[in-house]
Chain A
Amino acid sequence: MITLLLAAQAAIGAHAIPSVTRASPVPGGSRTDVQIIQSALHGTARRGALSLQGTLSLEGLTMRDGQVTPGAWGEGYIDSRHPHTWVHELVVSLGDPISLPVVRWSLSAGKGFAAYGSDDPMGRPPVLFPANHHWSQVLERAMVTGAVRAGPVTLEGSLFNGDEPEDPGQWPDFSRFGDSWSLRGMLAVRGVELQLSRARVKSPEHRQGAGLEHLMWHGSARLDRDARAGRVYALVELARVDEEGAFEFGTALAEAQLVAGAHRPYLRFERTERPEETRALEDPFRGVRPHNENSNLGTTRWTTYTAGYGRRLPWRLGPARFEAIGEIMYAHVTRVTGIVFDPEPFYGGNDLWTLSVGLRIGAGAPMPRMGRYGAAAGHTNGHIH
């Protein structure tokens, strides 16, 4: 690995967004977070057939209590987007171990994304995470992924551990490696990607394995190419999660962005169902971990509209680049099932507003497209903001 890092074809970079985020109404009335989000060091390296992709997240230091985001949930955080683990991804890939005609193939291993779903929200236009993060990505797992690419078609398969982290410093439970799997197929033609994924994830929310298994479907269409007005990006995704027939959750999301010179307007629409779980008594933005017995209180549906604008600033400070960002999100929450959790009295209303302003700082290489390894990374476009 050290050899890889010292390779000639290496690129490293850094990324962070000092930001102020205010949401209202939320438990307690309103919440304002002043923090640094999406703080990360990242890099790629290549030497011959070997390549390395890594992202070190610093969010455990810079946003330990999460970023207030109504609707967001997962890893023990509720209405607050969780910090990622220190090692967000660290994956070594071996390309074409044996040369084959027509196809390129690879084997990848390490900690990172399973071959499932769409891109990490950190690499997409809005700053505020969508509610469907845990329905549309399977990340921070100990995984082995095989990828085969033939022309515009890529097929990937992953074996990994089902447990998701509960703390920035927590590693995957390696004893559970292989209890979960995923498959992803993609067709990419002239900047358009069509993708379909399937995954079976064992007990993601109960680390010791007593939770329900998630049977997941995800499909998406992604556009990223130049147009007359500038660089155009769009994503439409649908996902469905079945928890052994006991619970079902669905999500639909559409987002788009235009990069025209220094300007970057973007929009997102989302409708996502999420489970409501028991919240900690002393902190309504945190769930009880580990779960005690079956703790689903019901299902809520989050319909959100997000609009944002980024303006690249003409400043340079050494290798650093800057972009000013303003973003507003309106969320409407309703109860789908359940009787004991009613969002209207809990939040003090069904309509929740979030405003976030920040300064995106990037230095060095742009962040790579996370979760695409080896042969699957060959024809994909990287970070789109």
Chain B
Amino acid sequence: MSRFPARLAPLAVLVTLSCNGGEAVDPGANGVVLVGQVAVPANYGIHDQFVRDGIAFLCNWNTGLQIYDVGGGGQGGSPANPVLLGTVVTSANGVSGGAQVHNAWWYHAPDGAKRYVFVGQEGPTVGGIGIGATGDIHVVDVSNMADPVEVAFFHLDGLGAPRDSAGAHNFWVDEQNEILYAAYYNGGVVALDISGTLAGDLASREIARIRPGGPGATYIWGVMLSGTSLYASDMLSGLWQLRLNGTAFEVLGGGNNVADRFGSDLWINGGFAYTGTWGAASRTGVPGNAVKVWELDGAGAPSLTDSIIIASVQTVSDVEVAPGGNLLMVTTEVGSGGGIYFYNASAGHRARPELITHHPVGSGIHTATFADIGGRRYVFAAKNPPGPALLILDVTAVSAQAVP
């Protein structure tokens, strides 16, 4: 999952530096232009990326977290010419397999500090996907981007039966209230206090946790905050609407609402939610080739209204809506239909997004995120092995087609 905090998008656009210098970009037949790419060591490759203020954080598994200037780093970088600023290999923390840098969030604190990047470590499953997981949250100080340093970590334990082990997956940060929400697979959802200085073991920073599907029936892929509701996509039990109330989560709605497939990523957009499906194993004999479309009622509770079926793919691995809310992007992998799909999700199309175009990538795209840089709209996408790479696509022309 990649995350660009939509509510901060206007700020991000304003502060990023122009990198294209007004160069004309000739869109390809599908309106998508590959403007740059960064080859990533096949160790195993790139899993995710977080782009903000013209800085790209590449989550390159055991190669570590790599920071690139793509227009805002002051080192002459641009989407067409990313410049490496620094690398940190976060500690394994005793997790089998090493650093396994999976996802990141560059936190901008309310006081303007931009010191910390939260890094998710996706260790091996315990007992298989859907049962147990491993991996911690690592905190990296990027005050000096040329020399990022890990300063703190959070390890989730105390789960008890059936698996006293859990692994971090995707994050969402409520920056205004200084709370990090982490999807934690079989550990459910965890809220952490990230205010002030972060150092050492952050166990005491835990505010609340919840396994909405119940112990043994929860495997949370992703979370996203929308208003006061926190939405959680559970691979096993569907889409949930939660809320952090003081030091406890409460369930407001949803849940046990996707029976045909395993769930994956999610995005909330203008009274609708979109969730992906995962199909490395089939739940009912069908692949994970669906994007579920949910309508949120006045209280924010989700109701399934439609599904977009994508041919010849096994998994819908990432879902995101561009700043402004008009362009839905879906990434897919495993199968000849692998790549990126763009839909018109503007007002009037949100209940039934219409396909604008497809950008095929044979080995599949694991995650992708939007970034507006220098007046143009880009997608930063993690291309799967073989030949893992960050692909940087100019999708300005595609975005222009996503209109009511």
Residues of chain A whose beta carbon lies under 8 Å from any beta carbon of chain B = 206, 208-212, 243-247, 276, 278, 280-282, 288, 290-299, 337-341, 345-346
Convert B266-280 into 0s and 1s, putting 1 for each residue whose CB lies closer than 8 angstroms to a CB of A. Answer: 000000000000011
CA A347 to CA B46, docked complex, whole Å: 33
Interface residue ranges, B against A (CB under 8 Å): 41-45, 47, 61-62, 96-98, 100, 102, 122-131, 134, 235-236, 262, 279-283, 285, 287, 312-314, 333-336, 364, 366, 384-386
Residue among A247, A276, A288 with max Cβ neighbours from chain B (10 Å): A288
Min Cβ gap B272→A in Å is 27
Please tell me which one of the listed residues A243, A244, A281, A337 contacts residue B128 in the complex, with CB atoms under 8 A apart: A337
Q: Which residues of B contact A278 (CB under 8 A)?
A: 280-281, 314, 334
CB within 8 Å for A338 and B280 given contacts A278-B334, A281-B314: no
Does the CB pair B97–A294 fall under 8 Å? yes
Contact A297 to B334, CB < 8 A, known contacts A208-B42, A246-B97, A341-B281: no
Contact between A339 and B42 (Cβ–Cβ < 8 Å)? no
**Chain B nearest CB, measured from A273 CB (Å):** 12
Whether the pair A246, B47 counts as a contact (CB closer than 8 A) is: no
Q: Are B130 and A212 in contact (CB under 8 A)?
A: no
Chain A residues lying within 8 Å of B100, measured Cβ to Cβ, are 293-294
Are A296 and B384 within 8 A (Cβ)? Answer: no
Task: List the A side residues contacting B128 at CB < 8 Å.
Answer: 276, 296-299, 337-341
Bound state CA distance, A294 and B135, in angstroms? Answer: 12
Bound complex: CA A352 to CA B134 (Å): 34
B130 touching A292, Cβ below 8 Å? no
A298 CB → nearest B CB, Å: 3
CB contacts (< 8 Å) of A341 on chain B: these are 128, 281
List the A side residues contacting B366 at CB < 8 Å. 292-293
CB pair B97–A338 under 8 Å, yes or no, is: no
Nearest CB on A from B328, distance (A): 23
Q: Are A281 and B313 in contact (CB under 8 A)?
A: yes
Residues of B contacting A: mostly: loop
Write 8 A-B pairs (CB below 8 A) sorted by A numbering. A210-B44, A292-B334, A292-B384, A293-B61, A293-B102, A298-B128, A338-B129, A340-B280
Note all chain B residues with C-beta closer than 8 A to A338.
Answer: 127-131
User: Would A210 and B43 be within 8 Å (CB), given that A288-B334, A338-B131 are in contact?
Assistant: yes
Question: Are A281 and B335 within 8 A (Cβ)?
Answer: yes
The answer to whether A210 touches B62 (Cβ under 8 A) is yes
Instruction: Tell me which of A280, A293, A297, A337 contacts B44 (CB under 8 A).
Output: A293
Q: Which residue of A lies closest to B335 (CB)?
A: A281
Name which residue of chain B comes closest to A338, CB basis. Answer: B128
Would you call A298 and B127 a contact (CB within 8 A)?
A: yes
Q: Which residue of A lies closest to B167 (CB)?
A: A294
Residues of A within 8 A of B45 (CB): 292
A206 to B62, CA, bound (A): 13
Number of A-B contacts (CB under 8 A): 118
A288 to B385, CA, bound (A): 10
Most chain A beta-carbon contacts within 10 A, residue among B47, B126, B262, B287:
B126
Q: Closest CB of chain A to B390's CB: distance in Å? A: 15
Q: Determine the distance from Cα of A293 to Cα of B42 in the docked complex, in whole angstroms.
A: 11
Chain A residues near B127 (CB-CB < 8 A): 298-299, 337-338
Q: Which residues of B contact A282 (CB under 8 A)?
A: 312, 335-336
A292: B residues at CB distance < 8 A: 44-45, 333-334, 364, 366, 384-385
In the bound complex, how far is the Cα of B53 from the Cα of A146, in angstroms? Answer: 58
Name which of B62, B125, B235 has the most chain A CB atoms within 10 A of its CB: B125
Q: Are A212 and B44 in contact (CB under 8 A)?
A: no
* Contact between chains at A339 and B236 (CB < 8 Å): yes
Are A345's CB and B44's CB within 8 A?
Answer: no
> Smallest Cβ distance from A186 to chain B, in angstroms?
32
The distance in angstroms between the C-alpha atoms of A278 and B129, with both chains bound, is 11
Among A281, A290, A294, A298, the residue within 8 A (CB) of B123 is: A294
- Give Cα distance in the complex from A210 to B43, angstroms: 5
B280 proximity list for chain A (CB < 8 A):
278, 295, 297, 340
Q: Which residue of A lies closest to B61 (CB)?
A: A210
Q: In the bound complex, how far is the Cα of B57 from the Cα of A20, in angstroms?
A: 54
Measured between beta carbons, the chain A residues less than 8 angstroms from B123 are: 246, 294
Complex interface: chain B residues within 8 A of A246 (CB): 96-97, 123-126, 134
Known: A211-B97, A244-B96. 8 other contacts (CB 8 A): A243-B124, A291-B44, A292-B364, A293-B102, A297-B280, A298-B127, A298-B131, A337-B127
A-chain residues with CB within 8 Å of residue B41 when the two chains form the complex: 208
Nearest-CB residue, chain B, relative to A295: B280
Find chain A residues with CB under 8 A from B386 CB. Answer: 290
Let me know if B47 and A293 touch, CB within 8 A. yes
- Evaluate contact between A281 and B334: CB separation under 8 angstroms: yes
CB distance from B155 to the nearest CB of A (A): 16
Establish whether residues A212 and B124, one from each chain, have CB atoms under 8 Å apart when the complex forms.
Answer: yes
How many Å lie between the Cα of A328 and that of B134 in the bound state? Answer: 42
Bound-state CA distance A295–B278 (Å) is: 12
- Given the known interface contacts A298-B129, A340-B129, the answer about A281 and B43 at a Cβ–Cβ threshold of 8 Å is no
B310 to chain A, nearest CB (A): 12
**Cα–Cα distance between A244 and B134 once the two chains are bound (Å):** 12
Residue numbers in A under 8 Å from B336 (CB-CB) = 281-282
Enumerate chain A residues within 8 angstroms of B335, measured Cβ to Cβ: 281-282
Contact with A339, one of B62, B130, B333, B384 (Cβ below 8 angstroms): B130
Whole-angstrom CA separation of A341 from B130 in the bound complex: 9
A340 touches B334 (CB 8 A): no
- Residues of A near B43 (CB, < 8 A) are 208-210
Shortest Cβ distance from residue B221 to the other chain A in the assembled complex, whole angstroms:
13
Within the complex, what minimum Cβ distance (angstroms) separates A80 from chain B? Answer: 18
**In the bound complex, what is the Cα–Cα distance between A291 and B124 (angstroms)?**
13
Q: Are B130 and A290 in contact (CB under 8 A)?
A: no
Known: A281-B314, A339-B131. A293 touches B125 (CB 8 A): no
Contacts of B98 in A (CB 8 A): 210
Q: Closest Cβ of chain B: how far from A157's Cβ, in Å? A: 26
What 8 A-B pairs are tightest by C-beta distance, nearest first?
Answer: A298-B128, A338-B128, A244-B96, A339-B130, A246-B124, A281-B335, A208-B42, A210-B44
What is the CA–CA distance of A208 and B41 in the complex, to the nearest angstrom?
Answer: 9
Check if B285 sits within 8 Å of A345, measured CB to CB: yes
On whether the beta carbons of A280 and B236 are closer than 8 Å, the reply is no
Q: B96 — which chain A residues lie within 8 A by C-beta?
A: 212, 243-246
Instruction: Report the separation of the CA atoms of residues A97 and B102 in the bound assembly, to the nearest whole angstrom.
Output: 51
Q: Which residue of B lies closest to A346 (CB)?
A: B282
Give A275 Cβ to nearest chain B Cβ, in Å.
9
CA distance A290 to B46 in the complex (A): 13
Q: Which residues of B contact A210 (CB under 8 A)?
A: 42-44, 61-62, 97-98
Contacting B97 at CB < 8 Å: which of A244, A297, A339?
Answer: A244
Question: Which residue of B122, B262, B334 contacts A294 across the interface (Cβ within 8 Å)?
Answer: B122
How far, in angstroms, from A298 to B128 measured CA to CA in the complex? 4
